[in-house]
């Protein structure tokens, strides 16, 4: 980003004498200077030059003008003024622009639309200058014959430090070279804002009122855009009587923009409230919604609402269905793969008609319809009001000759109003917009299961979701960071990814009371395209703050038609681990959330967190599956070769390295790929894993002559076998499909969802003429096992393989244990961390669960960790044994399907138990909770006290889960109703005997 100082619409006015004194030019001298600059060009006659120059000199400017321009610049401005005058006399707008490589200025009248056009030109010029510091000035006259004249001037200069340290906040270091000349009072005020901007969840601002009533607001924004000038003008213009007399903007090398506005004619409260909306405006050049706001067709609230409508409709407008589609679908209806590919094709072809740009252009053509939909939303939507608007939409679009798909988009806009149950749109002090939606709207879309709840979030630099499949649910929050190339794809698929992860979590959470949920934060690639902890943590806390708005009862400004308290637990995930969970828990405590101790898991030990990486929680369940296969097939682990995605810096990757004994042939992570047919050096891998370093830190000297290390940043690398790698990053992205990763065992410990699909799964078979479709059709069931690139795949990373890819590989004889079974150790640990937080009082929690580190921890903490580790391994062992037993009973049935059936059976029984009246039997409920609760917790909290402290809904969730999972592990998915009756009889007998 560049540093810009923009000073606009200056006042009070300055006299002609003052102007002459500052410029050291009289009107006559300026006339001569202009004539000289014109030279032989007969553009203006002498009288016009003389009169126009006098008129220019009589413009009343304040000191902002004379403090910022020298004689040469003043002469150029006067020449521009003459040119604008001449154009206006011949019917053109009064406007002049002069753009050079490192400077530009624009002259226009002071009416709103003319200033917006000039500011857009200024923005475009700034965009073209790239990563430089920019100093811009604007001044205004109130007594020009040609209305009021406004001058915008821009100069480009270098940053003091274009690449400052991540924690550098000194404005003198991260500002531009001209920033050193700023008024000390301004510098001090800006420095105060800079010191707070990275710890605040909302734009940081300072407000003061001068003696003459002028309101001075200084606003700091972490921005992904070059300038908010037109947006700020439109915002302030909405305040009745408000006039901006000056504006300043400083942009620093760390991406912070600081705006200072001098406003007359309105109160500080009104103006300040206007500016709180700046963070939510879709302020992108050439965006149709942006233009509607800047042109005052839509006010700020309606603009922000329209942006939310587009975001919702982008994901939930049904793809077009016509006769041709229906006919083709009927042809392939018995082929699941064919139906899926047809739907993918339909979605691809309809993307342009469902793009956000197209929807914005549609709103641009029919803004009055959106205004009515906004009024319906803000006043409380009803079925009758929506029906009336729907009729108007149909008539308006029909009369305009618009397509059925356009009507579908507006129908989805109205569906948004119907679906919203809770929202914080009216809350003044909000970090992001949050909408709790009734999930029934997904029934008409291609999703197999309707969630319990869906949350939509819209932030200044991000969008996100939270999907939960049960009332009591938990799952991590994933932050998706993209480069420009991958952002478009990630934006298209973020809800589908979120839904699939939550659904997988539901299957994975079969041993814990919480059902499946997941959260996502998709960060704009214009804002950041790599992980930056300070900025990412700020976005995470914005997500947390918005979520808390709609789950803390009675939050001011929140509209709630659900009228039901919700308990939500969040966990760490991609780009939100480390210090993020602790920050989220402390933030929720600050907001007054009663369940703050359990709000996030994966917290630091000093807050009672049990780090998954420290104790290898996820790896414990993965290793139970890996070692289970070895045990069942009588395999010697030390004789097997292995490939792993996910490097030694990650939780799962590092612990898999440290706990396993296979011979590594290859590994890959975000930083590099390493391969050694002689075996990747174990000691070097252990060094990286213990230090949590990426593969790029691998010492190449530890490789054999046939081995190689290719960094993602490398170019034109020649491998030992003569293969040339043009780009390391491309090599990394497809490394898991290459010949260098052939190994007996493949354990994905990291990677994006759907890395292996039906389209590329044939790469894991070494014979020619194989495709995903032929594999899935069972045409290679007798393939020689030596032609399998991997014989055993244990899916540690969530959704690394698609379902059809798993089934295709199993048809070829690959032994697969899917993610819902292998990757569940972490959720078991987190769930028991939640129960501990709900059971212990704040004082007990601080005493027994606050640990500085693994060694310096209370005995309670150490004992609880041991119990949790044992339960993680036992749960994984029980499920693995149940799957293997079922497979032996039905050898032709893929383990993938068996896993799904076990999960579905547990989910179904749990759902039915929750609907029953079994909880009325308090004795039985007490027995189950007592059986489930770790003994360590009961040493501090008696079971009857625990029953009083833990929310009733959570207790019921424990009971239903315990019954469902214990029964299914004992009887399998084929258990009958009579089996379940016998099981429950025994459990009731045990409950009575326990009293």
- Tens digit of pLDDT for each residue in 300-329? 999 999 999 999 999 999 876 656 666 676
Q: How far apart are CA 368 and CA 396, in angstroms?
A: 10
The predicted pLDDT at position 259 comes to: 87
Mean pLDDT score, 411-436: 96
The predicted pLDDT at position 343 comes to: 64
Taking Cα atoms as reference points, which of 864, 832, 835, 834 lies closest to residue 848?
Answer: 864
Element (H, E) at 222: strand 215-222
The residue ranking higher by pLDDT, 66 or 13, is 66
The predicted pLDDT at position 329 comes to: 67
Q: What is the mean pLDDT of the chain?
A: 88
Mean pLDDT score, 618-633: 96
pLDDT digit string (tens) for 648-666? 998 899 999 999 999 999 9
DSSP β-bridge partners for residue 545: none
Contacts 24+ apart (CB under 8 A), 805-808: 805/756, 805/757, 805/758, 805/761, 805/772, 806/894, 806/896, 807/776, 807/894, 807/896, 807/897, 808/758, 808/761, 808/772, 808/775, 808/776
* CB proximity list for 307: less than 8 A, separation 6 or greater: 280, 281, 282, 289, 458
In a domain? residue 845? no
pLDDT category at 17 given cuts 50, 70, 90 is: very low
The predicted pLDDT at position 33 comes to: 63
pLDDT digit string (tens) for 878-887? 999 999 999 9
Mean pLDDT score, 116-139: 80
Which single residue is written with the structure tokens 């270091």? 173
Domain edge (last residue) among 229, 255, 276: 276
pLDDT digit string (tens) for 896-921? 999 999 999 999 999 999 999 999 99
In a domain? residue 108? yes
pLDDT digit string (tens) for 182-229? 888 889 999 999 999 988 888 888 889 999 898 999 999 887 666 788
Mean pLDDT score, 918-935: 95
Whether residue 890 is found in the same domain as residue 763: no
The predicted pLDDT at position 39 comes to: 52
The predicted pLDDT at position 526 comes to: 87
Give burial (CB, 10 Å; 0-12/13-18/19+) of 851: buried
pLDDT digit string (tens) for 814-866? 999 999 999 999 899 999 999 999 999 999 999 999 987 767 899 999 999 99
C-alpha 113: how far from chain center = 35
In a domain? residue 832? no
Beta-sheet strands, E only, within 380-514 = 420-423, 433-437, 453-458, 462-468, 473-480
pLDDT digit string (tens) for 475-525? 999 999 998 888 998 999 999 999 999 998 998 898 999 999 999 999 999
* pLDDT of 24 over the 50 cut: no
Mean pLDDT score, 345-365: 78
User: pLDDT > 70: what percent of the chain?
Assistant: 91
Whether residue 249 is found in the same domain as residue 338: no
- Helix 16-23 and helix 46-57: axis angle, to 10°? 100
pLDDT digit string (tens) for 107-120? 998 888 898 899 88
Q: How far apart are CA 636 and CA 639, in angstroms?
A: 6
What letter does residue 667 receive in the DSSP assignment? E
* pLDDT of 72 over the 70 cut: yes
What letter does residue 318 receive in the DSSP assignment? P
pLDDT category at 144 given cuts 50, 70, 90 is: very low
Is the distance from CB of 329 to CB of 446 less than 8 angstroms?
Answer: no
In a domain? residue 844? no
Q: How far apart are CA 667 and CA 642, in angstroms?
A: 9
Whether residue 652 is found in the same domain as residue 634: no
Whether residue 181 is found in the same domain as residue 49: yes
Whether residue 461 is found in the same domain as residue 365: no
The predicted pLDDT at position 590 comes to: 95
Catalytic residues: 518
What letter does residue 92 receive in the DSSP assignment? S
**Which residues form the domain of 789?**
627-640+744-823
* pLDDT of 45 over the 70 cut: no
Whether residue 578 is found in the same domain as residue 727: no
Domain edge (last residue) among 690, 717, 738: 738
* pLDDT of 4 over the 50 cut: no
Q: How far apart are CA 107 and CA 636, in angstroms?
A: 81
Mean pLDDT score, 88-109: 89
The predicted pLDDT at position 20 comes to: 40
What is the C-alpha R_g of the chain?
33
pLDDT category at 142 given cuts 50, 70, 90 is: low
Whether residue 151 is found in the same domain as residue 299: no
The predicted pLDDT at position 508 comes to: 87
pLDDT digit string (tens) for 731-752? 999 999 999 999 999 999 999 8
In a domain? residue 731? yes
In a domain? residue 293? yes
In a domain? residue 610? no
Domain edge (last residue) among 738, 754, 775: 738
Whether residue 749 is found in the same domain as residue 722: no
DSSP β-bridge partners for residue 455: 436, 466
SS3 sequence of 500-567? HHHHHHHHHHHHCCCEEEEEEEEECCCCCCCCCHHHHHHHHHHHHHHHHHHHCCCCCCCEECCCCCCC
Whether residue 180 is found in the same domain as residue 288: no
Omega cis (within 30) before 776? no
Is the distance from CB of 477 to CB of 519 less than 8 angstroms?
Answer: yes
In a domain? residue 606? no
* pLDDT of 7 over the 70 cut: no
Is the distance from CB of 569 to CB of 832 less than 8 angstroms?
Answer: no
What letter does residue 781 receive in the DSSP assignment? T
pLDDT category at 3 given cuts 50, 70, 90 is: very low
Whether residue 482 is found in the same domain as residue 453: yes
Is the distance from CB of 819 to CB of 796 less than 8 angstroms?
Answer: yes
- Number of structural domains (the chain) is 6
Taking Cα atoms as reference points, which of 263, 274, 267 lies closest to residue 214?
Answer: 263
The predicted pLDDT at position 719 comes to: 97
Whether residue 188 is found in the same domain as residue 272: yes
Question: Could you give phi then psi for residue 455, rounded to 5 degrees?
Answer: -115, 135
Mean pLDDT score, 429-456: 94
Q: Which two tokens stand for residue 253?
A: 């090398």
The predicted pLDDT at position 423 comes to: 98
Whether residue 436 is found in the same domain as residue 527: yes
* pLDDT of 352 over the 60 cut: no
What letter does residue 241 receive in the DSSP assignment? T
pLDDT category at 370 given cuts 50, 70, 90 is: very high
pLDDT category at 333 given cuts 50, 70, 90 is: low
Mean pLDDT score, 229-256: 85
């Amino acid at each position: 980003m560049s540093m810009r100082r923009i000073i606009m619409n200056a006042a009070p006015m300055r006299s002609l004498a003052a102007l002459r004194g500052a410029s050291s030019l009289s009107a006559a001298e300026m006339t001569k200077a202009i004539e000289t600059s014109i030279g032989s060009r007969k553009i203006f006659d002498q009288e016009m030059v003389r009169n126009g120059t006098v008129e220019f000199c009589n413009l009343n400017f304040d000191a902002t003008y004379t403090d910022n321009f020298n004689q040469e610049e003043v002469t150029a401005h006067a020449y521009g003024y003459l040119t604008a005058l001449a154009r206006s006399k011949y019917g053109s707008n009064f406007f002049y622009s002069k753009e050079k490589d490192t400077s530009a200025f624009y002259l226009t009248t002071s009416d709103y639309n003319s200033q917006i056009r000039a500011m857009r030109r200024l923005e475009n010029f700034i965009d073209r200058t790239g990563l430089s510091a920019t100093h811009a000035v604007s001044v205004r006259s109130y007594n020009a014959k040609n209305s009021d004249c406004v001058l915008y001037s821009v100069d480009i200069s270098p940053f003091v430090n274009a690449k400052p340290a991540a924690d550098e906040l000194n404005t003198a270091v991260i500002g531009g070279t001209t920033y050193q000349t700023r008024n000390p009072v301004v510098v001090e005020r800006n420095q105060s804002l800079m010191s707070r901007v990275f710890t605040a969840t909302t734009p940081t601002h300072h407000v003061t009122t001068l003696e003459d009533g002028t309101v001075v607001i200084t606003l700091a924004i972490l921005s992904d855009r070059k300038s908010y000038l037109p947006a700020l003008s439109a915002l302030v213009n909405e305040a009745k009587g408000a006039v901006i007399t000056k504006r300043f903007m400083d942009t620093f090398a760390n991406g912070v923009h600081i705006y200072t506005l001098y406003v007359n004619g309105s109160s500080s409260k009104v103006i300040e409230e206007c500016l709180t909306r700046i963070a939510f405006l879709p302020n992108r050049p050439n965006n149709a919604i942006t233009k509607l706001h800047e042109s005052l067709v839509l006010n700020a609230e309606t603009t922000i609402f329209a942006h939310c409508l587009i975001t919702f409709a982008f994901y939930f407008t049904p793809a077009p269905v016509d006769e041709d589609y229906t006919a083709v679908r009927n042809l392939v209806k018995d082929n699941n793969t064919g139906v899926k590919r047809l739907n993918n094709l339909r979605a691809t072809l309809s993307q342009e008609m469902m793009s956000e740009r197209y929807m914005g252009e549609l709103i641009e053509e029919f803004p009055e319809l959106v205004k009515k939909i906004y009024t319906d939303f803000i006043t409380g939507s009803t079925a009758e009001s929506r029906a009336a608007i729907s009729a108007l939409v149909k008539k308006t679009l029909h009369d305009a000759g618009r397509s059925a798909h356009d009507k579908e988009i507006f129908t989805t806009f109205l569906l948004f109003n119907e679906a919203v149950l809770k929202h914080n749109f009216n809350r003044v002090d909000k970090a992001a917009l949050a909408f709790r939606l009734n999930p029934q709207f997904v029934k008409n879309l291609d999703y197999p299961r309707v969630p319990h709840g869906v949350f939509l979030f819209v932030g200044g630099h991000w969008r996100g979701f939270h999907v939960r499949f049960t009332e009591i649910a938990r799952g991590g929050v994933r932050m998706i960071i993209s480069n420009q190339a991958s952002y478009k794809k990630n934006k298209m698929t973020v809800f589908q990814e979120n839904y699939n992860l939550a659904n997988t979590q539901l299957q994975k959470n079969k041993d814990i009371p919480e059902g499946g949920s997941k959260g996502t934060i998709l960060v704009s690639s214009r804002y950041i395209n790599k992980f930056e902890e300070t900025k990412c943590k700020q976005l995470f806390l914005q997500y947390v703050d918005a979520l808390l708005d709609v789950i803390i009862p009675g939050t001011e400004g929140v509209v709630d038609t659900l009228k039901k308290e919700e308990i939500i637990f969040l966990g760490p995930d991609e780009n939100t681990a480390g210090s993020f969970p602790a920050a989220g828990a402390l933030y929720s405590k600050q907001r007054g959330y009663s369940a703050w101790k359990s709000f996030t898991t994966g917290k630091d030990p000093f807050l009672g967190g049990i780090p998954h990486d420290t104790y290898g929680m996820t790896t414990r369940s993965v290793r139970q599956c890996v070692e289970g296969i070895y045990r069942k097939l009588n395999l010697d682990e030390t004789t097997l070769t292995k490939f792993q995605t996910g490097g030694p810096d990650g939780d799962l990757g590092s612990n898999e390295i440290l706990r396993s004994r296979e011979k590594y042939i290859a590994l890959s992570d975000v930083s590099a790929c390493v391969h050694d047919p002689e075996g990747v050096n174990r000691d070097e891998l252990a060094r990286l894993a213990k230090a949590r370093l990426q593969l790029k830190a691998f010492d190449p000297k530890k490789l054999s002559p046939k081995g190689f290390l290719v960094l993602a940043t490398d170019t034109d690398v020649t491998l030992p076998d003569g293969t040339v790698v043009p780009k390391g990053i491309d090599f990394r992205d497809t490394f898991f499909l290459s010949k260098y990763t052939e190994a007996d065992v493949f354990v994905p410990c990291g990677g994006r969802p759907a890395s292996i699909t039906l389209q590329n799964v044939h790469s894991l078979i070494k014979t020619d003429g194989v495709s995903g479709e032929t594999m899935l059709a069972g045409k290679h069931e007798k393939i020689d096992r030596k032609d399998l690139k991997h014989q055993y795949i244990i899916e540690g990373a969530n959704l690394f393989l698609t379902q059809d890819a798993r089934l295709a590989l199993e048809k070829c004889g690959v032994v697969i244990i899917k993610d819902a079974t292998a990757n569940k150790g972490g959720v078991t640990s987190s769930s028991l961390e939640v129960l501990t937080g709900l059971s212990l009082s704040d004082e007990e929690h601080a005493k027994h669960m606050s640990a500085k580190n693994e060694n310096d921890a209370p005995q309670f903490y150490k004992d609880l960790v041991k119990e949790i580790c044992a339960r993680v391994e036992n749960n994984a062992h029980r499920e693995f044994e149940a799957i293997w037993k079922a497979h032996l009973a039905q050898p032709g049935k893929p383990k993938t399907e068996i896993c799904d059936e076990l999960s579905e059976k547990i989910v179904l029984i749990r759902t039915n138990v929750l609907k029953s009246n079994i909880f009325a039997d308090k004795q039985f409920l007490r027995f189950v909770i007592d059986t489930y609760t770790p003994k360590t917790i009961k040493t501090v909290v008696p079971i009857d006290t625990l029953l009083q402290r833990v929310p009733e809904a959570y207790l019921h969730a424990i009971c239903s889960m315990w019954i469902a999972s214990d029964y299914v592990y004992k009887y399998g998915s084929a258990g009958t109703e009579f089996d379940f009756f016998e099981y429950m009889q025994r459990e009731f007998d045990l409950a009575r005997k326990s009293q």
